[in-house]
């Protein structure tokens, strides 16, 4: 098979390219994930989409293709909170594991999924390992009150390969957005709330429209360096999507910060894990923005 006819549509530059329908986008990415196209075609697809940008209809179609190829995740007894973690830490400590542990302490099953996408950042797998949370060798049911880390390659090996294209061409592709909005339990296997984040305002609009289109259950915020955890220094805007219905949960904090929270001065995995352990032991309070994020998630889960 070939995706050349799709590349002709999406590859005519920012002004000349045309959008694909949801069905076309599903077929296109399905062929890419199934490995039925050449490496040259995959590179052309990635570069064309990077220049053109994805429409909500295209993202919905790409999601359809991914969902059909995800390994099934057994349903937990309570709704699962899904925390994608793909950006890692560069300047600030990676506190996605803290968010996960605070939610698990409330009795929720928490799925953290991710994979390193660069070589110069600290990634969630490193911090979780320092917290003695290890990736399983196979997918299994997540217990209530448990944090489980599942690498992307266990959920969908083909999606991991598409993420790795970035290491070759140096640019993100649709897979980097898909992993932040996909629901590994979306095949009728259980209830879930996806916590998702964006780095730039234009992504916020596209992701929100996609959540509405696919009738998702999600919380969307501008996270910390692209991670799904609220910035410990300042309250971000948070929006909810329940069956695609959008509502504002939290306004962004305005004005000058009166004080900075007590955070680790380095971002290495060991220092971050030690800080997280001190918060979980009650020796330090959780950052107010993260505590508020936990409150919002708990309320949303009750609506599922």
Print the SS3 string covering the chain: CCCHHHHHHHCCHHHHCCCCCHHHHHHHHHHHHHCCCCHHHHHHHHHHHHHHCCCHHHHHHHHHHHHCCCCCCCCCCCCEEEEEECCCECCCCCCHHHHHHHHHHCCCCEEEEECCCCCCCECHHHHHHHCCCCCCCCCCCCCCCCEEEEEHHHHCHHHHHHHCHHHHHCCCCHHHHHHHHCCCCCCCCCCEEEEEEECCHHHHHHHHHHHHHCCCCEEEEECCCCCCCCCCCCCCCEEEEECCEEEEEECCCCCCCCCCCCCCCCCCHHHHHHHHHHHHCCCCCCCHHHHHHHHHHHHHHCCC
Do 167 and 282 have their domain in common?
Answer: yes
Mean pLDDT of 75-89: 94
- Count: domains in the chain: 2
Give the CATH number for residue 54.
1.20.970.10
| pLDDT at residue number 258 | 55
- Beta strands 192-198 and 147-151, pairing class: unpaired
113, β-bridge pairs: 84, 150
Do 54 and 168 have their domain in common?
Answer: no
Do 123 and 249 have their domain in common?
Answer: yes
Do 62 and 126 have their domain in common?
Answer: no
Do 104 and 58 have their domain in common?
Answer: no
Give the CATH number for residue 276.
3.40.1030.10
Residue 93 placed within a domain: yes
Which of 216 and 260 is assigned the larger pLDDT? Answer: 216
Residue 103 pLDDT > 80? yes
Do 63 and 88 have their domain in common?
Answer: no
Do 49 and 124 have their domain in common?
Answer: no
16-55 tens-digit pLDDT: 889 999 999 999 999 999 999 999 999 999 999 999 999 9
Range of the domain at 17: 4-67
Do 113 and 209 have their domain in common?
Answer: yes
Which of 67, 92, 119 represents a domain boundary (last residue)? 67
The average confidence (pLDDT) of the chain is 92
Do 178 and 295 have their domain in common?
Answer: yes
Do 85 and 49 have their domain in common?
Answer: no
168-218 tens-digit pLDDT: 888 889 999 999 999 998 666 679 999 999 988 888 899 999 999 999 999
Residue 74 placed within a domain: no
User: Picking from 8-22, 99-113, 175-189, 246-260, which range would have the lowest pLDDT averaged per residue?
Assistant: 246-260
| pLDDT at residue number 13 | 81
Residue 75 placed within a domain: no
Do 56 and 94 have their domain in common?
Answer: no
Query: With contact defined as beta carbons under 8 Å apart, do 100 and 293 qualify?
Result: no
Which of 13, 35, 67 represents a domain boundary (last residue)? 67
Do 122 and 213 have their domain in common?
Answer: yes
Which of 67, 102, 122 represents a domain boundary (last residue)? 67
Residue 247 pLDDT > 60? yes
Residue 84 pLDDT > 80? yes
Residue 256 pLDDT > 60? no
Residue 253 pLDDT > 90? no
Residue 296 placed within a domain: yes
Task: Give Cα separations from 123 to 83, 159, 256, 269 (angstroms).
Answer: 13, 18, 30, 8
pTM of the shown model: 0.94
Percent of the chain with pLDDT over 90: 78
Mean pLDDT of 101-122: 93
| pLDDT at residue number 36 | 94
> What's phi and psi for 7, nearest 5 deg?
-65, -35
């Amino acid at each position: 098979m070939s995706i050349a006819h799709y590349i002709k549509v999406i590859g005519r530059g920012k002004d000349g390219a045309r959008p694909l329908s949801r069905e076309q986008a599903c077929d296109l990415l399905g062929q890419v994930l199934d490995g039925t196209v050449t490496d040259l075609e995959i590179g052309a697809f990635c570069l064309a989409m990077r220049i053109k940008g994805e429409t909500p209809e295209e993202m919905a179609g790409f999601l359809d293709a991914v969902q059909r190829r995800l390994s099934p995740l057994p349903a937990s007894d309570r709704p699962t909170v899904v925390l994608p973690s793909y950006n890692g830490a560069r300047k600030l400590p990676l506190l996605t594991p803290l968010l996960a542990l605070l939610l698990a302490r409330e009795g929720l099953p928490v799925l953290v999924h991710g994979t390193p996408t660069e070589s110069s950042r600290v990634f969630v797998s490193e911090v979780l390992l320092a917290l003695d949370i290890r990736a399983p060798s196979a997918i299994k049911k997540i217990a209530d009150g448990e944090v489980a880390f599942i690498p992307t390659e266990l959920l969908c090996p083909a999606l991991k390969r598409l993420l790795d294209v970035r290491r070759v061409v140096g640019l993100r592709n649709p897979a980097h957005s898909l992993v932040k909005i996909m629901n590994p339990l979306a095949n009728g296997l259980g209830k879930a709330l996806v916590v998702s984040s964006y780095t730039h305002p234009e992504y916020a609009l596209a992701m929100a429209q996609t959540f509405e289109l696919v009738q998702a259950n999600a919380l969307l915020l501008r996270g910390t360096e692209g991670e799904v955890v609220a910035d410990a220094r300042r309250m971000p805007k948070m929006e909810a999507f329940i069956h695609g219905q959008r509502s504002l949960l939290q306004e962004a904090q305005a004005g000058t910060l009166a004080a900075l929270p007590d955070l680790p001065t380095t971002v290495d995995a060991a220092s971050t894990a030690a800080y997280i352990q001190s918060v979980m032991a009650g020796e330090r309070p959780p950052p107010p923005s993260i505590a508020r994020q936990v409150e919002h998630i708990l309320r949303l889960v009750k609506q599922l």
